[in-house]
Chain A
Amino acid sequence: MDKMPKWADVILTPLISLVLAMAISALVILAIGESPTEALKTMVDGALGSSYGWGFTLYYTTNFIFTGLAVAVAYHASLFNIGGEGQAMLGGLGVALVALALPWPHWGIALPAAMIGAALFGALWALIPAWLQAKRGSHIVITTIMFNFIAAALLNYVLVNILRPVGSMDPASARFPEGAHLPSLADMAAGLGIEWGKNTPVNITFFIAMLACVLVWLLIWRTRLGYEIRAFGRSEPAARYAGINPVRIIVITMLISGALAGLMAINNVMGEAERLVLNAVEGAGFIGIAVALMGRNHPFGVFLAALLFGFLYQGGGELALWTSIPRELIVVIQALVILFTGALDNMVRMPLERIFLSMRKLGNG
């Protein structure tokens, strides 16, 4: 029999991990002489207390949904895609090239084109590590790490030497044409006569991210490809026995994963900055790891975890603004969440399993 009920595995263990991470973070805050409750209050007020705060929280959430889904999809095939950062960088390049290529008449046309650019570049950046893993057995974790650095160097080169407008000192592209500007949620709300989230970066991409969650769910649990991805992820010999081609699965899964990471650029590059800057991704690719782990690689879990990290990110910014707690606290929390949900999983799980086992024994006799 399973050692504990499914709900405990899916909900209880990540929650306990989160509580542990939060508790340690509280200790860190105490240690630097600040009040954890005050800090939490500042964060909640700043991130969730106003439509302005929500506007930022949801903007970050959108980023993290994409990178979280990217990690989650790969994880189902037992591939640890640590290269979301680089894939999102390249996705940004794809968006910039599309946006700057034409004087777009309307965002409704620019958006699908930019999405294709983002997904294509992100996917291509995942393709080489995928192919090397599938064909040459090169460890995908190491190659994707290497590709993050190569992406940074490549982007740096392209921005400095190719995309930088004449006379500009900034390693950044020109501003995107007016017709490639995405409507923000504030604009859309205003269209409905509601005043919400003025001057916040959250934009139409948020809905695309939610749609992506649904599509990924369908892909993983309702399609033949998803069935094959999950089967391959659980056992490669079994997959071969069943006629599933490992090379095909590795490559396709990583293409999907890379495309999802790349699509993040719609939000931050096209939706927010409206030009390509050097450090556009800002570590969102890595936060995707925490989000996927926390969300148990399920799209709904990823959505919730992305929301949590969106809150942490916006709240962290507020902390730095209003208290003397630096925003790097968020990096610490992120690290602890990864540590507890990913690496110290057994530390949380084993006592829980024991409790459930003894409860069952009591129940039985």
Chain B
Amino acid sequence: MAAAAKQGGRPETAAPYAIELKRISKSFGPVQANKDIDLRVPRGTIHGIIGENGAGKSTLMSILYGFYKPDAGQILIDGQPITIADSQTAIRAGIGMVFQHFKLVQNFTVLENIILGAEDGALLRPSLSKARDVLKQLAQEYQLNVDPDETIDELSVGHQQRVEILKALYRQADILILDEPTGVLTPAEADHLFRILEGLKAEGKTIILITHKLREIMDITDNVSVMRRGQMVASVKTAETSPEELAELMVGRKVILNVEKAPAAPQAPVLEVRDLKLVDDEGVERLRGIGFDIRAGEILGIAGVSGNGQTQLLELLGGYPEKGATVSGSIRMNGQELDLTGTRSDARTRRERGIGHVPEDRQVEGLIMDFAAWENVAFGYHDQPEYQGGLLMDNARIKADAEKYFEDFDVRPRNTHLAARNFSGGNQQKIVVAREIERNPDLLLIGQPTRGVDIGAIEFIHRRIVELRDAGKAVLLVSVELDEILALSDRIAVMFDGRIMGERLPAETTTGELGLLMAGVTDTENHPASDGIPPEQNHVEDLPKEPR
């Protein structure tokens, strides 16, 4: 065991549970985020906590880390009752936390980040040299190699996460909480992370893994607890459960992700993308020669771990690549070349060409949260001639459209004068989807259509996407949820590191095969799933291959 982690001075009590929570409750205003939560985590195990977005997992962990005070309930660490008033107390109790969004100072070195808040005295020098030694030890012990003198903004995401883990270990954490740790990792990086976690467990550390990915739970945890709507609905041994059972527990009923749809009847190509490249303002190549077609009457699903260029692809097609980016390649819409630069390359022009776009982040991009719902119904189409009445806007017309959209999409509450922020996630999404679909676009770009959306709305939105396809329109679906991609797509393209690694037909592929593509391992035998597309350069990525 690492020297640093040994000197904690915490008694090695006989209490079987590293963490025990008793009837923890927490509400924010009228929202009950946690209700009577009981949880027991045996020492030296990996414990998964699984649940949908908004199930209350993160709130629970924030309570454990002293960010929130519970309204009621008790926390025991190593059998001892404890009040965790702040993060300092949590750290002293041996709890370390790796947040979903890293809490690192970008222009500090790894070493500076490690000692921040855990310095040994008023001067930095001794702390820095001590940290350097400890880091060396930890690196050897747990395969946690990072250059201590590199600044954070020079590091890859996977390495940044290692720094977060090192931070916790440096603070002699015995209990490590990881919140959605693999969301930003490639499968290879995730595998490496899991090996690190196994190593930590072997040293007697207790690990809590928060995730909504069933596969991870099944692969690595010893026990799993399921949360739903702020409550703990089950705690079971991982070996004694199945993904199906967990999924059912998560959503409260059997998920039917098999969308009923007739086979596609694709016609002429609507969108033809060739050799699309994008370099962002920091010089990073985000898109490295993307090419695909979408024909009228088909849904092309783009699968991939988030951060592999999907966002950049959607933004570029939608007419708003990030500032300072340089782009090249060609996009043809209904046979007409689209401008990639200049004033005719903006989102307004794209809409004129018949491209509708449901953006990945409805709260930041798709809606103006402070605007009334009716105003949002015109958002992006506010310059359409039918909304103009001379010098002024024809608000009556917009309001009439809003009423119609609300009716068609069953948006609740049925009040178009409420600000967008007052609607639930699902209803906000319905407003955006309604706005884009009711315009009857030739091509619909839709990113993460059901992120943070309740089950009922998911089915509704899926049905409308399929209906749009059946009406002979083209759909580009981007989602990190593989199940969603498999259920909706007529063809699947997998993105990795700014490239399309291959195309598959949903009926002829497996999640395993797609997973390999998502990890950057390409076809050895090419399966062209569509014709008329130049073959992608196929080669195996130089991934760090580590022994299993």
Do A and B have CB atoms closer than 8 angstroms in the complex?
A: yes
**Is B409 interfacial (CB-CB < 8 Å)?**
no
Tell me whether B395 and A234 are in contact (CB under 8 A).
Answer: no
Q: Which of A2, A223, A231, A357 contacts B419 (CB 8 A)?
A: A2
- Stretch from B170-178, B374-382, B452-460, B462-470 contacting the other chain: B374-382
Q: Which of A223, A231, A357 contacts B371 (CB 8 A)?
A: A231
With a cutoff of 8 Å between Cβ atoms, the chain B residues found around residue A230 in the complex are: 368, 371
**Is B407 interfacial (CB-CB < 8 Å)?**
no
In A220-253, the 8 Å CB interface with B consists of 222-224, 227-228, 230-231, 234-235, 237-238, 240-245
- Stretch from B105-113, B147-155, B216-224, B349-357 contacting the other chain: B349-357
**Could you give, for residues 337-379 of chain B, a 1 whenever the CB lies within 8 Å of some chain A CB and a 0 otherwise?**
0000000001111110000010101001111111100010011
**Is A321 interfacial (CB-CB < 8 Å)?**
no
Tell me whether B366 and A241 are in contact (CB under 8 A).
Answer: yes
A1 to B422, CA, bound (A): 5
Q: Which of B350, B365, B383, B422 contacts A224 (CB 8 A)?
A: B383
With a cutoff of 8 Å between Cβ atoms, the chain A residues found around residue B320 in the complex are: 240-241, 243
**Could you give, for residues 246-272 of chain A, a 1 whenever the CB lies within 8 Å of some chain B CB and a 0 otherwise?**
000000000000000000000000000
Tell me whether A243 and B364 are in contact (CB under 8 A).
Answer: no
With a cutoff of 8 Å between Cβ atoms, the chain A residues found around residue B426 in the complex are: none
Q: Which of B29, B361, B368 contacts A357 (CB 8 A)?
A: B29
Known: A218-B392, A222-B392, A231-B379. A241 touches B348 (CB 8 A): no
Known: A218-B392, A227-B375, A357-B29. A241 touches B368 (CB 8 A): no
Q: Which of A222, A223, A224, A238 contacts B366 (CB 8 A)?
A: A238
Give min CB distance, B121 to chain A, whole Å.
Answer: 37
With a cutoff of 8 Å between Cβ atoms, the chain A residues found around residue B361 in the complex are: 237
- Chain A residue total in the interface (Cβ 8 A): 21
A86 to B366, CA, bound (A): 38
A219 to B137, CA, bound (A): 65
Main SS class of interface, A: helix
User: Chain B interface: which size bin?
Assistant: 20 to 34
A1 to B28, CA, bound (A): 13
With a cutoff of 8 Å between Cβ atoms, the chain B residues found around residue A243 in the complex are: 319-320, 346-351, 380, 383
Give min CB distance, A12 to chain B, whole Å.
Answer: 19
Tell me whether A241 and B347 are in contact (CB under 8 A).
Answer: yes
Give min CB distance, A93 to chain B, whole Å.
Answer: 31
Q: Which of A237, A245, A357 contacts B365 (CB 8 A)?
A: A237
Give min CB distance, B224 to chain A, whole Å.
Answer: 35
A230 to B392, CA, bound (A): 15
With a cutoff of 8 Å between Cβ atoms, the chain A residues found around residue B379 in the complex are: 231, 238, 242
**Is B391 interfacial (CB-CB < 8 Å)?**
yes
A297 to B327, CA, bound (A): 40
With a cutoff of 8 Å between Cβ atoms, the chain B residues found around residue A237 in the complex are: 361, 364-365
With a cutoff of 8 Å between Cβ atoms, the chain B residues found around residue A242 in the complex are: 347-348, 379-380, 382
**Is B309 interfacial (CB-CB < 8 Å)?**
no
In B442-489, the 8 Å CB interface with A consists of none
Tell me whether A241 and B318 are in contact (CB under 8 A).
Answer: yes
Known: A235-B364, A235-B368, A242-B380. A223 touches B393 (CB 8 A): yes
A245 to B383, CA, bound (A): 13
With a cutoff of 8 Å between Cβ atoms, the chain A residues found around residue B419 in the complex are: 2
A234 to B382, CA, bound (A): 16
A265 to B382, CA, bound (A): 36
Give min CB distance, A31 to chain B, whole Å.
Answer: 40
A364 to B350, CA, bound (A): 48
**Is B511 interfacial (CB-CB < 8 Å)?**
no
**Could you give, for residues 198-231 of chain A, a 1 whenever the CB lies within 8 Å of some chain B CB and a 0 otherwise?**
0000000000000000000010001110011011
A292 to B347, CA, bound (A): 33
With a cutoff of 8 Å between Cβ atoms, the chain A residues found around residue B88 in the complex are: none
Tell me whether A2 and B422 are in contact (CB under 8 A).
Answer: yes
Give min CB distance, B186 to chain A, whole Å.
Answer: 26
Give min CB distance, A165 to chain B, whole Å.
Answer: 45
**Is B32 interfacial (CB-CB < 8 Å)?**
no
**Is B241 interfacial (CB-CB < 8 Å)?**
no
A159 to B383, CA, bound (A): 46
Tell me whether B393 and A227 are in contact (CB under 8 A).
Answer: yes
**Is B388 interfacial (CB-CB < 8 Å)?**
yes
With a cutoff of 8 Å between Cβ atoms, the chain A residues found around residue B382 in the complex are: 224, 227-228, 242
In B101-131, the 8 Å CB interface with A consists of none
Tell me whether B29 and A234 are in contact (CB under 8 A).
Answer: no
A2 to B370, CA, bound (A): 10
Most central of B357, B359, B367, B380 by chain A CB within 10 Å: B380
With a cutoff of 8 Å between Cβ atoms, the chain B residues found around residue A241 in the complex are: 318, 320, 347, 357, 359, 365-366, 380
Give min CB distance, B414 to chain A, whole Å.
Answer: 15
**Could you give, for residues 328-365 of chain A, a 1 whenever the CB lies within 8 Å of some chain B CB and a 0 otherwise?**
00000000000000000000000000000100000000
A237 to B357, CA, bound (A): 14
A79 to B369, CA, bound (A): 19
A262 to B191, CA, bound (A): 64
A227 to B387, CA, bound (A): 12
**Could you give, for residues 1-45 of chain A, a 1 whenever the CB lies within 8 Å of some chain B CB and a 0 otherwise?**
110000000000000000000000000000000000000000000
Give min CB distance, A242 to chain B, whole Å.
Answer: 4
With a cutoff of 8 Å between Cβ atoms, the chain B residues found around residue A1 in the complex are: 422
Most central of A231, A238, A357 by chain B CB within 10 Å: A238
Give min CB distance, A230 to chain B, whole Å.
Answer: 8
Tell me whether B318 and A234 are in contact (CB under 8 A).
Answer: no
Give min CB distance, B481 to chain A, whole Å.
Answer: 22
Q: Whose C-beta in chain A lies nearest to the C-beta of B378?
A: A227
Give min CB distance, A20 to chain B, whole Å.
Answer: 26
**Could you give, for residues 407-423 of chain B, a 1 whenever the CB lies within 8 Å of some chain A CB and a 0 otherwise?**
00000000000010010
Give min CB distance, B348 to chain A, whole Å.
Answer: 3
A228 to B381, CA, bound (A): 11
Known: A228-B382, A235-B368, A240-B347. A223 touches B392 (CB 8 A): yes
Most central of B350, B368, B369, B392 by chain A CB within 10 Å: B368
A162 to B496, CA, bound (A): 67
**Could you give, for residues 68-96 of chain A, a 1 whenever the CB lies within 8 Å of some chain B CB and a 0 otherwise?**
00000000000000000000000000000
A240 to B318, CA, bound (A): 10
A240 to B315, CA, bound (A): 10
A357 to B347, CA, bound (A): 41
With a cutoff of 8 Å between Cβ atoms, the chain A residues found around residue B346 in the complex are: 243, 245
A235 to B370, CA, bound (A): 10
Tell me whether A234 and B369 are in contact (CB under 8 A).
Answer: yes
Q: Whose C-beta in chain A lies nearest to the C-beta of B350?
A: A243
With a cutoff of 8 Å between Cβ atoms, the chain A residues found around residue B367 in the complex are: 238
Q: Whose C-beta in chain B lies nearest to the C-beta of A243?
A: B348
A129 to B383, CA, bound (A): 28
In B242-261, the 8 Å CB interface with A consists of none
26 contacts between A and B (CB under 8 A): A222-B395, A224-B382, A224-B383, A227-B382, A228-B382, A230-B371, A234-B369, A234-B370, A235-B368, A235-B369, A237-B361, A238-B364, A238-B368, A240-B320, A241-B320, A241-B365, A241-B380, A242-B348, A242-B380, A242-B382, A243-B319, A243-B320, A243-B346, A243-B383, A244-B348, A357-B29
7 closest pairs, A vs B, by CB? A243-B348, A243-B347, A242-B380, A240-B320, A241-B365, A222-B392, A234-B368
Which residues of A approach B to under 8 Å, CB–CB? 1-2, 218, 222-224, 227-228, 230-231, 234-235, 237-238, 240-245, 357
New A-B pairs, 16, CB < 8 Å, besides A234-B371, A241-B380: A1-B422, A218-B392, A223-B391, A223-B393, A224-B393, A227-B375, A227-B378, A234-B368, A234-B370, A238-B364, A240-B365, A241-B347, A241-B365, A243-B348, A243-B380, A243-B383
